[in-house]
Structure 1
Amino acid sequence: TSPAGHYNTTVFLSDGSEDVLKAQIETAAIVGQKYFIIPALPTNVRQSGTLDDYKRMAVKFNRAAELCKAHGLKLAYHNHNFEFKDQGSGATGYQILLKETDPAMVSFELDLFWAVNAGLDPVQMFKENPGRFKMWHVKDMDKADKSVYTEVGTGVIPFKSIFAEAKLSGMEYLFIEQDVIKIDAYKSISESINYVKHTLLNQ
């Protein structure tokens, strides 16, 4: 069983209805997962969310975390790049989610590609919020076009320095992924896995 799963929590995040959320949490517990992950925010928040919208999301994250705890699960949030949009004076929605969620209850699954794509330094994120990034999504960014995914180790993301700070991050699990591939799928994932296993985890 995967230690974590992504669940569509749009209804709960939009109107607060807990019925579907509770059923999803029960399912995650039954199959033996450890982390229940919110994979995205509602469309309106993704497209035009204000800092107040993110504060409301943080409140709901805390509530969902309470429900997860009752079933022996932990809550985490998976980012894209829209959360890092400057909302004025450098403030971002992601900062709100970090600040206004309970560190003991809410963790983060940091998608390294999207964080770097948005101009952030993952290591600096670890220093500012140590221990909160329990999981990583590991995929690389093309050298010529930062919107293009590529096999881990062939792009521009500084994985060696990031992996060197895994303990500071609090990382327990990492997931290698690549949304779009240009070569054979098995060759692609093999290249990425081999680089992570033999280069990054052995440094």
Structure 2
Amino acid sequence: MTSRRNFLASAALLSAGVLVSPALLARNRRYIGLQLYTVRDAMAKDPAGTLAQLAKIGYNSVEGATYTGTQKFYGMAPRVFADLLKQHGLIMPSSHYRLGEELTNGAPVLGTMLHNWDRAVDDAAAAGVQYMVCAYLSEPERGNLDHYKYVADQLNKAGERCKKAGLQLCYHNHDFEFVPQDGQLPYDLLLATDPQLVQMELDLYWVTKAGRDPLALFKQHPGRFPLWHVKDMDRTPQQSFTEVGNGSIDFKKIFAQARPAGLAYFFVEQDATPGSPFDSVAKSLAYIKKNLV
């Protein structure tokens, strides 16, 4: 049963036009994105060559994975990186960031939600980013339910700053947010954030591995999931990462609910590959083009 809080949140989303219109969805479905973490080693060595290779394979959208600490995008100033993307016919509508509660060598990490977030937002806007995503909570950043409430408060604050710049904050899940604590799911506390300020990037692999149904989440929280990570789960007992279409996740059924979910952009991600990541992402792209878009 839909709770009063969920009903009000859904109503707020609908009144604000957050649900993606058919025209916008049709336009954005032509973008097939890749989370650059998949090719992180190549990006560290040769970002220009890596982007060129991804464009040649057929990707036309990417999601950033490194801004934290350097306050640059793969060693480049925001506008320089944006120009490089444009040279290869790529857009970067989304990029990943960290909460910043965890220290590195005893010092705070800049470019995170807790440290120098104003600069991060300005840089994101300059790079053409539309969605700034809290990518991950390290173990020290998780804690008990009270700490998740603190995280939710920080998400709201960071999301307010994004909103002022015309951007949208999102939260990207793993599986630990779905481990119950005292009868509650941490993910539900994160969903209790202001839907105008915080939306969700749903990682379809991790939510499935946690034993949760993405379709049920779409129904309970319509319009709340503008970003997806499309990664598949192999059929071994280890439930490892595999190429899209090579595993057990029913993407056809999930993509059929793109509109009620509020999907704007999706990104292939494969944290580990059996060989060259470029071979794996090419296989995923071929499946997606043939079966999903």
Q: TM-score, normalised by structure 2?
A: 0.63
SS at structure 1 position matched to 2:228? strand
**1:144-183 to 2 correspondences below 5 Å:** 144-183=236-275
Tell me how far 1:186 sits from its aligned partner.
2.3
1:19, distance to aligned residue in structure 2 (A): 4.4
Matches within 5 A, 1:1-203: 1-11=91-101, 18-46=114-142, 49-89=143-183, 91-99=184-192, 101-201=193-293
Root-mean-square deviation over aligned CA pairs: 2.0
- Consecutive unaligned residues of structure 2, counting only runs of 5 or more, are 1-90, 103-107
Q: Structure 1 pair 18/52, CA: closer, same or farther in 2 (3 Å)?
A: closer
- Does the Cα contact within 8 Å between 1:134 and 1:170 map onto a contact in 2? yes
Per-residue CA distance 1:11-53 (angstroms, 9 max, x = gap): 49x9x9854211111110111110111111243233xx21111
The Cα offsets for residues 74-112 of structure 1, whole Å up to 9 and x where unpaired, read as 1001111111111132x110011102x111121100000
Considering Cα pairs closer than 8 Å and 6+ residues apart, tell me whether 1 or 2 has the greater RCO: 2
Equivalenced residues, count: 196
Assess if the C-alpha contact under 8 Å between 2:99 and 2:113 holds in 1: no
CA distance in 2, matches of 1:41, 1:123: 24
Measured after TM superposition, the shift of residue 185 of structure 1 is 2.3
Quote the Cα distance in structure 2 between the aligned partners of 1:188 and 1:27: 31
**SS of residue matched to 1:76:** strand
1:117–1:146 contact (8 Å) kept in structure 2: no
- Amino acid aligned to 1:192: S
Segments ≥4 residues shifted beyond 4 Å: 16-19
Residue type of the partner of 1:7?
A: Y
Query: How much has 1:70 moved relative to structure 2?
Result: 1.4
SS at match of 1:3: strand
Name the CA shift for 1:67/1:170 in 2 (closer, same or farther; >3 Å). Answer: same
Q: Could you tell me how far apart the structure 2 residues matched to 1:146 and 1:124 are? A: 25
SS in structure 2 opposite 1:197?
Answer: helix
CA 1:188 to 1:42, structure 2 compared with 1: closer, same or farther past 3 Å? Answer: closer
Is there any run of 5+ residues in structure 1 with no aligned partner, and where? none
Q: Which residue type is aligned with residue 171 of structure 2?
A: Y
Q: Within 1, Cα distance between the matches of 2:113 and 2:177?
A: 23
Q: Label 1:146 to 1:137 Cα distance change in 2 as closer, same or farther (>3 A).
A: farther
Distance 1:61 1:31, change over 3 A: same
Amino acid at match of 1:57: V
Larger Rg: 2
Task: In structure 2, give the amino acid aligned to 1:84.
Answer: F
Task: Give distance in 1, aligned partners of 2:158 and 2:210.
Answer: 27
> Given that residues 10 and 42 in structure 1 are in contact (C-alpha distance below 8 angstroms), is that contact kept between their aligned partners in structure 2?
no
CA distance in 1, matches of 2:150, 2:129: 27
Whole-angstrom CA distance in 1 between matches of 2:269 and 2:241: 10
SS at match of 1:2: strand
1: CA distance, partners of 2:268 / 2:190:
24
Distance in 2 (alpha carbons) for counterparts of 1:25 and 1:10:
14
